[in-house]
Structure 1
Amino acid sequence: MLPGFLLELYETSQVYKLPDVEFSYWQDDNAPAETVKKADGTWTWPFPPHGLPPIMAWAKNKMHGALLVPYSSAFRCPRDSFDAIVSEVHKMSEMPWEQRSSMAFGRWNIFCAWYYRGHLKLEDGTPAPCPRNYYNDLYYNHTDKLLTVALNRNLTNGTTATSVSLHEQHKFKYLVSTDGWAVSSKFDKYMLLGSLLLKAEGLTYAFYYPAIQPFEHYVPIMKKHKDDLLDMLEWAKSHDAEAQRIAQNAQAFAMRHLNRQARLCYMFHLITQLSKHMRYQVDCSRRPACIPLVEEIKFLSKYVHTANKCRYQETLMQYGHDDPDGLPGYSGYEELLKKHEAQPQYILFGGH
C-alpha cells in the first residue's frame, strides 16, 4: 500500500508545486478507528507517540478524523489496477449491454469489517450480516439469478470458485460489490466496467464516496433487509433502461473524476489546504530521518521486498532521472538501506 501512495505523492510533487507540510500516512485498513474525538470537537491520537502530524488514510468511518487520500496502490500498481483498466474501456464497450449476462456476479474472499458484528443496522431493525458470507450462501438458493460465490467455495456444478479477472467481469450486467476490512478496493474499478453496481452498505468510505449517490451511480443493497439484493435485482431487470443509465453514470464519473490527473489534482488541493493549518515551520531538523522522496522511490524499486509491488519505472523514467533532489542512479541505495534497517519493521513496510 505504501509504494503506490508514495509514487502518487511524488508524481503530484512533479506536476504541481506543493507547499511544505507534515503528515502521517496509515497504510492499513482502519487506522482512523484509533483516533478519538474529544468533547470540544477536536481529535486526538490516544497512543504514544503523541503529537503526531495529521493522519492520512485511504478509508475511514465518518466519526473519525483522518484525511482521506486515494488508495493509490490499487489505482496504479497491479495488473488489474484502475489505471490499467482505463486503457481497456474502449475494448470493453464492444460488449453491448443487451449481450451481457443477466446473472448478478460477485467474487471475493470471505472476511468482513468489524461493523458487521452488530454495529450496522438494516432498515428493518436487524443487524447486517457479513455480506460476503451471506451472499455466498444465498447463491445456493438462487442459482438462476446469482453467481455470488466466494473464492474456493463450491459451485453447484461441482467445481470450485476461482478468481475471475476484472478484465472479464464486464461480461456481467450486474456486479455485486462488498466491503472487506474497509472499503472494497475493487469498487472504483467496477465503476469503469459499464455494469450496474449493486453495492452493499457499509460504515467506512473512500475519498470520493461523498460525490456518488444511490440510484444515480449504484444501487444500494444490504440496506432494507438482508435479502434486498434479490429485490434490487428484480427492479433492475424490470427497469432495464434505468439500470443501464446508472451503469453509464458510474462509468462516466470514474473516467472523469478518478483518473490519474484528477487524483493528482485532489492530492494537490488537499495538501495545499493542509498547509494553511500548519502552525510550525516544516524542516528536516525536526526529524531523525529526512529522505528525498525520489530517493525513497528508487530504493523501493530495488529493495527485494518491494521491487515488485508497483510500476515504479513509469514514474521514475519520466521525472526521476533529472530530479535535482536525487543522487546519480542508485548510488544512495546502500546508505538508505542502512537507515531502513535501523528502524522497526512496522515503520518500514508493515513487515515482510
Structure 2
Amino acid sequence: MLSIVSWIVLVAFVAADKLETCDLHPKIEERIVKDTAAWGDAGITEDLVKSVSKHCDTEARIRQHYCNCQPQRILIENGTVYLNNLIPRHRLGPHEHIGLLVELYEVSQVYKLPNVEFTYWLDDHPPGETNYVFSGSGPHGAPRATAWPYEPRGGLPPMVAWSKSADNGVLMVPYSGAFRCAKDSFDALEASLHQTAGVAWADKLPLGFGRWNGFCTYYYGMGLVRSEDGQAVPCPRTYLNNVSAAHPDLLSAFDLGVAKPVPLAHQNRYKYIISTDGWSISSKFDKYLLLGSTVFKAASIRDGFYYDALEPNVHFVPFMVKHKDDIVEALQWARQHDEEARRMAEAAREFARKHLSRPARLCYLFRLLTHLSKQYRYPVSCSRRKLCVPLAQELRYYAQDEKTKDTCPYDELFDKYGATDPLAAPDADRLREVSVMHLDPLHWPRDDL
C-alpha cells in the first residue's frame, strides 16, 4: 500500500506529465467562451453551486420522485474527479449517465484539469429551471436571470447536459455514452471505417433512408419548431411515413412500427441518410456523418456541443425548413447534383473524424472545464463537501456490478491508466463500502445546510 508521501509524489509525477493545451474548431471554442461567460462579473458563487442540493429538499421527495437520479454532482480538485452524490443502484445502468463519467475520467488522465464543480443533468432535456426568463444581459455585466427557483433565486448553477435550446443556460457536453459505450458507438463505427468506406459512391442507392422508433419529442408537439412558411413543423419521425409512402422512388424513411430495422453499419448502402431528433438531439446524427452518405437533417430547436461548427449545405442538407414537405425538393436536388452531394458526404466524414473523434472530445471537455474554472469566486475543494467519492473508485464499482459491468468497456481505461492512478485500485472493503452507499436512496448530501 502506498504511504501518503509516496501517493503525493506519484500524483505529482503523473500530473506533471499531463497535457495543458489543445486546439478546437474555432466555432466550437467560440460557443464555449460564450456559454461560460453567462455569469458575468459576479462569477459563480458557492451559494449557486450548493443550491442544487435544494432540488431534493425532503426525504419524501427523494423517495417518491427519485429526484436524486437526475442530477449527478461532480467536483474536480488537483486533477482528480470526485462525485458529490451517488445515484441509487436501481437507477444505474444506462450509458447516458456512465458514458460521460468514463470520458471525464480519461480527460483527467490525459489533461491537467483545473478545479471546478458542476452538475451533470441526466436527462434528454436540461431542467426548465435553467431557462432564461428574459434576453440580453443584466446591468454592469451581471448574468441573465433564469427560472432557477432556489436561492440565489434567478441564478444559474453550473450545469452540463448533452443538448439544449438557445434559451437555456446549461453548458453542453458530448453524448459520451453513444460516442463510446453503445455497441454501435461512434468510436466503434470509426474503427471500422475501412468497411463502411468500401461501398463506392456510384454503388450506393440514390434513395433517402431512415429508421427510428416512432415517438416524438415535446417541442414538435407544442409547435415550437416553425418552418419559413410560418407553419408548425410536424413530428418528423411519424410524418415522414406519409412522405415516404407518397414518394417511394425518393424516400424510405419509416418508424419501426411500419418498416423493419436496418443495422447502422449497413445504412451506408444508401446515398442519402435521413436524421431526425428523438427525445432530444439524435444520438445517431454524429454516426451518420461517418457513413460517407449525404446526411439530411430535420429542423430542430436543439443544439449539440459541435453544431455551431457544422455548415448547412456543406456538411448536411437541412429539411423541414422552407415547409414540411421540402425534403422532396432536397432529394431531387441531390439526384440532379450528384457530385455536389458526394462532396458533402465527404466533407461530413472529414468533419466527424477531425472534430468528433475521442481525442477531439477529450480536448473539448478540457477546454470547457478550463474556461469554466475562470468563473469561480470561492476555493473549490472536497473539504467543503459532505461526500467526495473518487470517480476512479466509482468506475471500478461499475465494472464489477451486475447492473453496470456491461454498460461501457471500462477495461480499456484501467488497462491504459490504472498503473499510474493510485485511486484506480480500491481494495475489496472500499468497493463494498461504495456498493452499500448506492443502496441508500437518500444519498443526497444537503451541502446547502
SS in 2 for 1:107: strand
Distance 1:45 1:333 in 2: 39
The structure 1 residue matched to 2:174, chosen from 70, 74, 77, is 70
Counterpart-to-counterpart distance in 2, 1:32 and 1:242: 41
**Deviates further, 29-38 or 89-98:** 29-38
* Cα gap change, 1:320 to 1:44, in 2 (>3 Å): farther
Match of 1:280 in 2: 378
Q: Give CA-to-partner distance per residue, 1:5-62, whole Å, 9 cap, x none.
A: 0000000000001011100001211114331325535244624586774000100001
Aligned residue number for residue 216 of structure 2: 112
2:130 is equivalent to residue 35 of structure 1: yes
Q: Give the unaligned 5+ runs of structure 1.
A: 154-160, 348-352
Q: Which residue of 2 aligns with 1:260?
A: 358
Cα distance, 1:229 vs. partner?
0.7
Residue 303 of structure 1 deviates from its aligned partner by 2.1
Residue deviations 1:218-263, cap 9 Å, x none? 0000111111010000000000000001111000000001000011
Alpha-carbon separation, structure 2, partners of 1:86 and 1:49: 45
Q: Corresponding residue for 2:164? A: 60
Task: Give yes or no for contact 2:418–2:425 (8 Å, CA) kept in 1.
Answer: no
Q: How does 1:42-191 map to 2 (within 5 A)?
A: 42-44=144-146, 46-48=148-150, 53-116=157-220, 117-153=222-258, 161-191=259-289
- Which AA in structure 2 matches 1:54? P
CA–CA distance in 2 between the matches of 1:9 and 1:126? 42
Question: Which amino acid letter does the alignment assign opposite residue 204 of structure 1?
Answer: R
CA contact (8 A) 1:131 1:178 kept: yes
Structure 2 match to 1:16: 111
Q: Is the 8 A contact 2:130 2:156 kept in 1?
A: no
* Contact 1:292 1:325 (8 Å CA) reproduced: yes
Which of 32-41 and 93-102 deviates more? 32-41
Superposed displacement of residue 285, structure 1: 2.4
Could you say what secondary structure the match of 2:289 adopts?
Answer: helix
Secondary structure of residue in 2 paired with 1:152 = coil
Q: Partner of 2:337 in structure 1?
A: 239
Q: Which secondary structure does the structure 1 equivalent of 2:296 belong to?
A: strand
Secondary structure at the aligned position of 2:380 is classed as: coil
What corresponds to 1:208 in structure 2? 306
CA distance in 1 between partners of 2:422 and 2:150 (Å): 36
Amino acid at match of 1:278: Y
**Alignment-derived partner of residue 349 in structure 2:** 251
**Cα shift readout 1:95-130 (whole Å, capped 9, x = no counterpart):** 110100111100001122222121111111111000
Q: Distance in 2 between matches of 1:263 and 1:281?
A: 27
* Cα distance in 1 between the residues matched to 2:196 and 2:348: 15
TM-score, normalized by length of structure 1? 0.92
Seen in structure 2, the aligned counterparts of structure 1 residues 23 and 238 have a Cα distance that, compared at 3 Å, is same
- Corresponding residue for 2:327? 229
- Work out whether residues 199 and 219 of structure 1, in 8 Å CA contact, stay in contact via their aligned partners in 2: yes
Structure of higher RCO (CA pairs closer than 8 Å, 6+ residues apart)? 2
Q: How far is the alpha carbon of 1:320 from its aligned partner?
A: 2.4
Unaligned 5+ segments in structure 2 are: 1-95
Q: Secondary structure at the match of 2:202?
A: helix
The answer for the alignment partner of 1:157 in structure 2 is none
Mark the CA change 1:296 to 1:63 in structure 2 (over 3 Å): closer, same or farther. Answer: same
Identity %: 46
The aligned runs of 1:256-335 (5 Å cut-off) are 256-328=354-426, 330-335=428-433
Question: With structure 2 as the length reference, what TM-score do the two structures score?
Answer: 0.73
Q: Pick the structure with greater CA Rg.
A: 2
**Residue identity opposite 2:241 in structure 1:** N
How far apart are the structure 2 equivalents of 1:107 and 1:277? Answer: 43
- State the AA in 1 paired with 2:264: L
Change (3 A) 1:99 1:346: farther
Q: Which amino acid aligns with 1:150?
A: D
Distance 2:262 2:104 in 1: 31
Residues in 1 aligned to 2:249 and 2:133: alpha-carbon distance in whole angstroms: 51
* Coordinate RMSD, CA, aligned: 1.9
Distance in 2, Cα, partners of 1:307 & 1:242: 45
Higher helix share: 2
Quick one: structure 1 residues 88 and 278, their matched pair in 2 at CA, closer, same or farther if it must change by over 3 Å? same
Residues of 1 paired with 2:443 and 2:389: CA distance?
17
Distance in 1 separating the partners of 2:357 and 2:444: 31
Residue equivalent to 2:71: none
* 1:182-201 Cα distance to aligned partner (Å, 9 max, x none): 10000000000010001001
Task: Tell me if the contact between 1:221 and 1:229 (Cα under 8 Å) persists in the aligned partners.
Answer: yes
Answer whether contact 1:33 1:60 (CA < 8 A) is retained: no
Partner of 2:49: none
Return closer, same or farther for 1:345/1:115 CA change in 2, 3 Å cut-off: farther
Q: Distance in 2 between matches of 1:45 and 1:320?
A: 42
Give the letter for the 1:298 counterpart: R
